[in-house]
Amino acid sequence: MIGSICRRLLSCLVLAALIVGLEPAIPQARSETRAGEPLVLNARTCVSSPATSGGSPGFVVKEEVLRVDPAHTAIIICDMWDRHWCRGATHRVGELAPAMNRTIAAARARGVLIVHAPSSCMGFYKDHPARRRAQSAPRAANLPGDIQGWCDRIPAEEKGVYPVDQKDGGCDDIPVCPQGSPWRRQVAGIEIRDEDAISDSGVEIWNLLESRGIDTALLMGVHTNMCVLGRPFGLRQLARHGKRAILVRDLTDTMYNSRSWPHVSHFQGTQRIIEHIEKYVGPTIASTDLTGEPPFRFRPKGEPRAVFVIGDDEYRTAETLPEFARKELEPLGVRCQFVVADPKSPNDFPGVEALDSAELLVLSARRRAPAEKEMAAIRRFIEAGKPVVGIRTACHAFDLRGKVPPGHAVWRTFDPDVLGGHYAGHYGNGLRPEVTAAVDATSGVVPVEILDGVRVPFVGQGSLYKTAPLAKTTATLLIGELKDQPGARPRRQSQSQSQPVAWINRKGAARIFFTSLGHPGDFARPEFRTLLRNAVVWALDRQPESKDVTVSAARGPGR
């Protein structure tokens, strides 16, 4: 009786909703989908587009709705290990695992076969029913002869350029983590049921798929640009041998070092790989198609903020630094704020109190005396042990010549106190130094990542600063030398014409970088832009493992 009344009441509510034009107050159809009904997948690819008038060929996004039989579909979970040699990779796997577990649970309930493929971990699962299931699959009549091997590339990919570099194994950490094979099993956050399968063998997985008539495989896991693409059970091998191989694009991650080409953030690197797959390998979907929930997103880690304090008329850094930041730092996720001295009142830096909530100070000022409260903000930042990157005239940033205006302050010893330098003028303006690696930089005692991609020798575009002797707490990266130029005195008649032009200094835990380069012409050189970008990345790193730098007893010229 009560059940009959409830059914009539629900019917009345639905009818009333239809009459007034509202959505019926009943569960969404997606959540009522039953096992065995087709999976509706919104597949995305990028297809080549003919050249437009005066343009060049490109790609356009194509979306297609696929209806696939769950009984003929498998999910393959690639290398979601319990631990990775890269700390960042281990963290991201842990973040991915809960969302991935929800997705495979929804798919399993629909009748999809779940294949767990944590490579090199089969010994851990030797007695598991899911492991025996994969081993017992009968040999397929159409077993490809090369299915057990890694596949680095398929012919379609030759049409494009691989979108990221995999230098240092793709590790984003500084210093790069020690490599090895610490994994022992799949991450515990992903449930393995007896009715699933466990295998890292291309032969076993192919046999398993064929024995069940499975023609569609959804790949998820790590790492997109390596194992997900290249494993014997990966996207390339399955696609080239006739399976419909689809990447679940929000449940994956790359091994990409954002300090390497194309110098974008880690997650932008992942997006570049996904686009490459959509162009040349196969379609992608989002986990939404299986769960009805929003796509997975990695939690933002808080983009670091750099405040640029600029008071320099001679080298136009109010123009060059913002352009540099936009092109080189913002793609890495560094938020950049600019505090530029008032042209009408050059000793005033309105807004410099932004340093109180910043992670990095980038300084380019020349002989200025900030207001006392502004100088106090700068001192607070430095005394807190936060990192500083200085360029060119920063070595005499607050050494004002002449009378100090009332209510303003100077810091004449800023160079030795903070940067570890000893500025004493410069050589002639027309003499351009040849820049080479310093002894410290070649002896393995400085953070070599700052020089990663900096090709030496190159020619500095401004005058050579006299910066030696440096403090004992410094380590020299680059040396500038004047030689064989009109106006340069023979070395035997002069003091050394080799001077440090880039170094690091350590004051407690603070990371300090300085370069006397920074002429407008330097910003036009890729060597200088790479050096400065790498220095910012190094300075912003706060990992305890990389706080200490051993300073070599070997000293660069001029020390």
Query: Domains plus CATH for the chain?
Result: 67-291 (3.40.50.850), 305-546 (3.40.50.880)
Q: pLDDT band at residue 462, thresholds of 50, 70 and 90?
A: confident
Predicted confidence at residue 28, as pLDDT, reads: 31
Q: Helix H segments across 385-451? A: 414, 439-442
| Residues near 480 by beta carbon (within 8 Å), at least 6 away in sequence | 433, 434, 435, 460, 464, 498, 499, 500, 501, 516
With cut-offs at 50, 70 and 90, classify the pLDDT of residue 443. low
User: 500: helix, coil or strand?
Assistant: strand
At residue 174 the predicted structure's pLDDT band, cuts being 50, 70 and 90, is: low
Of 116-130, 293-307, 332-346, where does mean pLDDT reach its minimum? Answer: 293-307
pLDDT score at 333: 79
| Complete edge-to-edge strand list for the sheet that includes strand 458-459 | 335-340, 305-311, 360-365, 388-391, 510-515, 498-507, 474-481, 434-437, 458-459
Comparing 53-67, 168-182, 537-551, the range with the smallest average pLDDT is 537-551
Q: Residue 351: its pLDDT value, please?
A: 86
Identity of the highest mean pLDDT range in 35-49, 171-185, 237-251, 354-368: 237-251
From the number of C-beta atoms within 10 Å of its C-beta (0-12, 13-18, 19+), residue 406 rates as: exposed
Find, among 77, 107, 370, the residue nearest to 251 by Cα: 77
Compute the distance between CA of residue 497 and CA of residue 481 in angstroms, rounded to an integer: 6
E strands, 144-232, are: 197-198, 216-222
What count of residues does the chain have? 559
Q: Residue 491 has what pLDDT?
A: 42
Segment 391-409 mean pLDDT = 91
Is the confidence at residue 318, as pLDDT, over 50? yes
Which of 447, 435, 449 has its CA nearest to residue 475? 447
Distances (CA, A) of 193 to 87, 106, 115, 443: 28, 13, 10, 53
- Angle ∠(211,70,157) on CA atoms, nearest 5: 80
If we measure between CA atoms, which residue out of 298, 265, 255 comes closest to residue 79? 255
What integer is the mean pLDDT of 24-40? 53
* Dihedral pair phi/psi, residue 439, rounded to 5°: -60, -45
Residues 192 and 128: beta-carbon distance below 8 Å: yes
Mean pLDDT of the chain: 84
Q: Say if residue 447's pLDDT is above 80.
A: no
